[in-house]
Amino acid sequence: MQVGRRRIRVDPLVIDGLLGCAMAVGTVVYGWQAYTALYRAQGWPSFGLSAVALTLAVNLPLALRGRAPWVAFALSCGALALYTVAGYQPSANLWAPLLACYTVIVRHPARRAVWAAAALAVTWVAAALRAGLSVELSVAQSAIAVAVVWGWAAGRRRLVESNVRLAELTVQLRREQELRAQHAIARERLRIARELHDAVAHHLSALAMQAGLAEYVFASDPAAARRAVVSVGSSSRQALEEMRGLLGVLRTGTEDPDEEGLYRSAPRLAALEDLVRRTREAGLDVAWAVSGHRRPLPSGVELCAYRIVQEALTNAVKHAGRGARVRVGLDFTSGALTGEVISRGGSAAVAELPSSGLGLLGMRERVRLYGGSLRAGPTAEGGFEVAFTIPLAPLDAAGGA
């Protein structure tokens, strides 16, 4: 039961208790009215206090059928047997044991539930014989009732078992998806770390070269030596930033010595023009623009921006299809690098990134590494947008970072 967004949960014991009470009251009322209108004329004993007490004993155990099905069935069926032996007209009290037997069959395997079905059949035959029916009719009536209840309950039990297995499989699938996502994140971080390794190595090589130049011209050309020392300072700061990022994403794992392109040079933003050209050759109409005051960037930031644009264009090729219009833009501001890749149209509707979501995970990991943010999702016009922002260090007086 729901009220607005709130769900009201009712204890099954309360529901079973209300059911038992309702059946008990209804059976007592029916038994008294039937005795007054029909059974008294047929010579049946009066429906007095003892008959009422036995009727309550037959129906009230239904309150326990959810918690203790066998107990509920034994009490209800036993009370019906006593009611029949006491000589009262048994027709009114046949249904509660039937419902209790149904619960036993649903809750227990067939090899155990068959005993409840047999006990119910015997009780029903005895009640029918006591009501004056023939042996054949009594047995047939009991067999039909038990067969119907058995078939209904067995189907319900199979459905419950199927739902339980489905729930277990759902939990297992969700756990596997989480593990795959974690594994993908770990692999992406390791790949980023390997690329940053190249960037850091590049900075260290530049440091060594500039330091050697400064030492060589220290006496003969002080101005050149000073420029080399300034360059050493700038390169060392960038190397430190890249090293922090490298240590932030590096994770212990199994190296694959055969992985292709393990130590390839990291691409820079200048390579985006070639990437756009290849995308156009794939059939997309790509518009490429750079705004703002272009400035030197740490190689890791350039690699991050390049990989995000590359992944977004790859998804556009996969999902938008030939003829799609894609707009790629980068904007340099004083404190951040922002970019966006917006795709529209094409031979296939752009609804989402690949279903695995691993490309989006890689984008987010890269941007998070540099303290930035990324937004990816459908646009109101029916396309798809990937937008990112990477904060940049402020420019110093000399125009460097």
- pLDDT of 87 above 70: yes
The pLDDT of residue 272 is 85
The pLDDT of residue 253 is 47
The pLDDT of residue 391 is 92
By three-state DSSP, how is residue 378 classified? strand
Distance CA 367, CA 391 (A): 10
Q: Output 159 or 268, whichever has higher pLDDT.
A: 159
Over residues 2-12, mean pLDDT: 61
Distance CA 14, CA 20 (A): 10
Q: What is the DSSP string of 41-55?
A: TTTPPP--HHHHHHH
Which domains are assigned to the chain? 2-133 (no CATH), 183-249 (1.20.5), 269-391 (3.30.565.10)
Alpha helices in 108-257 (DSSP H): 110-130, 135-216, 222-249
By three-state DSSP, how is residue 338 classified? strand
- Report percent pLDDT > 70 for the chain: 75
Residue-wise pLDDT tens digits, 263-300: 345 577 888 888 888 777 667 788 989 998 888 888 77
Of the candidates 250, 312, 266, 249, which has an alpha carbon nearest to the alpha carbon of residue 286?
312
- Report percent pLDDT > 90 for the chain: 8
Average pLDDT, the chain: 78
Residue-wise pLDDT tens digits, 197-226: 656 665 566 666 667 777 777 778 878 777
Q: What are phi and psi of 267, to 5 degrees?
A: -70, 150
The pLDDT of residue 3 is 47
The pLDDT of residue 295 is 85
- pLDDT of 190 above 90: no
The pLDDT of residue 327 is 92
Residue-wise pLDDT tens digits, 313-335: 877 777 765 567 899 999 998 88
Distance CA 90, CA 82 (A): 10
Residue-wise pLDDT tens digits, 356-398: 455 677 788 888 888 899 998 888 877 889 999 999 887 654 4
The pLDDT of residue 252 is 46
- pLDDT of 6 above 80: no
Distance CA 371, CA 349 (A): 32
- Number of residues assigned to the chain: 401
Over residues 147-171, mean pLDDT: 86
Which letter does DSSP use for residue 97 in this model? H
Of the candidates 23, 75, 146, 86, which has an alpha carbon nearest to the alpha carbon of residue 138?
146
Distance CA 139, CA 98 (A): 15
